[in-house]
């Protein structure tokens, strides 16, 4: 800036000596507090570089004075959270399933915990509200392949069905058509008979006697004499109105021809025992539990 001492007549202030098209610039310095704040931010920034990880290097970065890292901080926060939950979760872990359902406070806790865990782990198959889909059971209704009591639900969550775990539920719907046990027309007849068991309409030329015979010969060992199913084998009740894979003739023919073997993964080892317990209580409280 050039040396000058021109005073503007209107404002009584000095000018900077700069002039554009006859307009002169007044010398109006920033307020002192502003300048000081600016310097303070510079000092702050330098302190920041020293204390926190700040500068990228060729292979790594400056770690700062206290080796602060957001990753470590998150880990600490999570550990703190677990500690905070610890006491309540311990109570949940020590209570029996039946006791949890009787105690409103424990039930609320288990439901809250179960709900979040359900959303993270179960919702992809069973839906966010447990309503299921074709092939994935609805957990809100009262029909349970492997039993709907608290203990049975917990058992299923822990070890799954056809999951490969040593204690898993085993049992499968055979592929009567693919394996050549039944012929095509026999399969259609059985399918119609199964529909008649739950009061659904049947095809006009359907031979009920033949259907009953075929059913007794091939199906009763798993589904029972009356078709009421068997939770020991995961064999569904064929007389009710709930159909995992659909109730129309086409779906039934498909089922009988190729069989069904849906898999429920085992959660033991992936979820801790208290969480599984909370999950069982939550699923049971959806309303279908027996």
Partner 1 sequence: MNKPVPPDELMTDEDGPLYAPRKKVYPQSVSGRFRSIKWRLMAVCLGVYYLLPFVRWHRGLGAPDQAVLIDFPNRRFYFFFIELWPQEIYYFTGLLVLAALALFLMNALGGRIWCGYLCPQTVWTDLFYAVERLVEGDRRAQIKADAGPMTAKRAGRRALKHAIWLMIAWWTGGAWVLYFADAPTLVRDLATFQAPAIAYVWIAMLTASTYLLAGYMREQVCVYMCPWPRIQAALTDEWALNVTYKYDRGEPRCSVKKAFDIRSLGEKAGDCIDCNQCVAVCPTGIDIRDGAQLGCIQCGLCIDACDAVMTKVSRKTGLIGYDNDINVQRRVAGKQEIFKPVRARTVVYAGLITVVCAVMLYALMSRTLLDVNVLHDRNPIAVRLSDGAIRNGYTLRFLNKRGFDRVIAIDVDGPADAKLHVIGADSVTPDRPMIVLARDTTTELRVLVTAPLDERAEKSVPVTFRVTDIGLGEVASATDHFVLP
CB of 249 to partner 1, least distance (A): 19
Q: Is residue 137 part of the contact set for partner 1 (CB under 8 A)?
A: no
HSE of 46, CA atoms in CB hemisphere, 13 A: 5
Considering only residues 86, 129, 135, 164, which one is a binding residue for partner 1 as defined by CB under 8 A? 129
Q: Is residue 180 part of the contact set for partner 1 (CB under 8 A)?
A: no
Helices marked H in 122-265 — which ranges? 123-126, 150-159, 184-197, 208-218, 220-223, 249-258
- Beta-strand (E) ranges in the chain? 15-20, 23-26, 56-57, 60-61
Adjacent-strand bridge partners of 57: 60
Residue 74 or 112: the one with the smaller Cβ distance to partner 1 is 112
CB of 143 to partner 1, least distance (A): 5
Considering only residues 177, 227, 234, 288, which one is a binding residue for partner 1 as defined by CB under 8 A? 288
Q: Indicate the DSSP class of residue 145.
A: T
Q: Is residue 126 part of the contact set for partner 1 (CB under 8 A)?
A: no
Considering only residues 4, 18, 24, 102, which one is a binding residue for partner 1 as defined by CB under 8 A? 102
Q: Indicate the DSSP class of residue 198.
A: T
Distances (CA, A) of 140 to 68, 106, 133, 178: 47, 21, 12, 33
Q: Is residue 54 part of the contact set for partner 1 (CB under 8 A)?
A: no
**Span interacting with partner 1, options 175-183, 184-192, 271-279, 282-290, rule CB under 8 A:** 282-290
Q: Is residue 142 part of the contact set for partner 1 (CB under 8 A)?
A: yes
Residue 124 or 164: the one with the smaller Cβ distance to partner 1 is 124
Distances (CA, A) of 219 to 33, 230, 232, 246: 90, 12, 15, 18
Binding residues among 201-240 for partner 1 as defined by CB under 8 A: 237, 240
HSE of 120, CA atoms in CB hemisphere, 13 A: 12
Give the dihedral of Cα atoms 164, 169, 172, 173; nearest 10 deg. Answer: -140
Considering only residues 107, 174, 222, 271, which one is a binding residue for partner 1 as defined by CB under 8 A? 107
- Residues that bind partner 1 in the complex, under the rule CB under 8 A: 9-11, 22, 101-102, 104, 107-108, 111, 127-131, 138, 140-143, 237, 240-242, 285-288
């Amino acid at each position: 800036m050039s040396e000058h001492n021109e005073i503007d007549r209107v404002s009584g202030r000095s000018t900077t000596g700069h002039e554009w098209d006859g307009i002169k610039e007044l010398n109006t310095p920033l307020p002192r507090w502003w300048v000081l704040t600016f310097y303070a931010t510079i000092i702050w920034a330098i302190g920041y570089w020293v204390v926190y990880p700040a500068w990228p290097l060729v292979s790594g970065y400056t770690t700062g004075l206290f080796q602060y890292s957001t990753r470590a901080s998150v880990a600490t926060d999570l550990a703190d959270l677990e500690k905070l939950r610890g006491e309540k979760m311990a109570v949940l872990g020590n209570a029996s399933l039946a006791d949890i359902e009787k105690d409103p406070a424990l039930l609320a806790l288990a439901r809250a915990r179960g709900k979040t865990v359900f959303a993270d782990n179960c919702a992809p198959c069973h839906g966010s509200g447990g309503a299921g889909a074709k092939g994935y059971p609805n957990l809100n209704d009262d029909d349970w392949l492997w039993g709907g009591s608290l203990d049975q639900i917990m058992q299923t969550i822990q070890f799954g069905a056809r999951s490969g775990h040593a204690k898993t539920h085993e049992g499968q719907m055979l592929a009567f058509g693919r394996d050549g046990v039944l012929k095509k027309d026999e399969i259609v007849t059985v399918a119609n008979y199964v529909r008649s068991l739950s009061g659904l309409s049947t095809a006009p030329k359907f031979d009920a006697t033949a259907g009953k015979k075929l059913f007794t010969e091939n199906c009763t060992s798993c589904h029972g004499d009356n078709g009421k199913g068997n939770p020991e084998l995961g064999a569904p009740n064929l007389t009710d109105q709930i159909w995992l894979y659909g109730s129309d003739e086409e779906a039934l023919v498909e089922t009988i021809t190729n069989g069904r073997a849906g898999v429920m993964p085992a959660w033991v080892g992936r979820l801790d025992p208290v969480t599984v317990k909370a999950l069982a209580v939550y699923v049971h409280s959806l309303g279908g539990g027996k």
